A = this chain, B = another copy of it.
Amino acid sequence: MALTHYPVVNKNGETIASAVTNLDLHDISRVAKTYGVQAFYVVTPLTDQKFLVERIVSHWTRGAGASYNPKRGEALALINIKDTLTDVLDHINSKGKGFPKTVVTCARSINRSIGYATFRKMLASGNPYLLVFGTAWGLSNSYIDEVDFVLEPIEGNSEYNHLAVRSAAAIILDRLMGRER
């Protein structure tokens, strides 16, 4: 899976590079580890933000955090920092698994979106997929237009549709990778 800080849109629909949020790294890597995700890519082209992510990860995997709470480091060790989503695809391909199909999550309803049961079956096939989450006000439309699949939005049981990406990632991984109930 990938958490993307560029290209995303701000409140006014302008394409921006968003800032990395510390708790996104912690919460999403812990969810990824719980559900057996193979890698968690943090995507940002900004040098200072890449440095920040590297410092956070190393604190918990090799620094003082590693002895304070080793379970945290196990999760954060899933993080790979990349400049672009293209670099992520290349990295996965370099592992000998081929280029993954890209599946983006989006809070807006998109015509061609696929459901959770459908994607769950696709995952069971063993082919590689990259599940992409956006930050800020979501992935830019021009990026969404180019991906292979769009996952349908999470519907709760109200008209309110404004989850944190941390919460969306938790719910989506449970729906896709959780044990059958």
Contact = CB atoms under 8 A, between A and B. Distances in A.
Interface of A: 11, 23, 26-27, 30-31, 33-36, 69, 71-72, 74-75, 115-117, 154-158, 160-164, 166-171, 173-175, 177-179, 181
A116 to B, nearest CB: 6
B154 A174 contact: yes
B156 A34 contact: yes
B157 A117 contact: no
A163 to B, nearest CB: 6
A35 to B, nearest CB: 4
Contacts of A179: 155-157
Given A36-B156, A177-B156, A162 B71 contact: yes
The quantity of this chain's copies bound in the complex is 2
Given A175-B181, A181-B116, A30 B162 contact: yes
Contacts of A173: 156
Nearest to A68: B11
A166 B164 CA distance: 10
Contact of A171 (B74, B117, B160, B174): B174
16 contacts: A23-B164, A27-B167, A30-B163, A31-B156, A33-B160, A34-B161, A34-B162, A35-B156, A35-B157, A35-B158, A72-B162, A74-B160, A115-B181, A117-B181, A156-B173, A156-B178
A171 B72 CA distance: 20
A170 B163 contact: yes
A174 B177 contact: no
A115 B181 CA distance: 9
Contact of A167 (B31, B160, B177): B31
Q: List 6 tightest A-B contacts by C-beta distance, closest first.
A: A34-B156, A167-B170, A35-B156, A170-B170, A33-B160, A171-B174
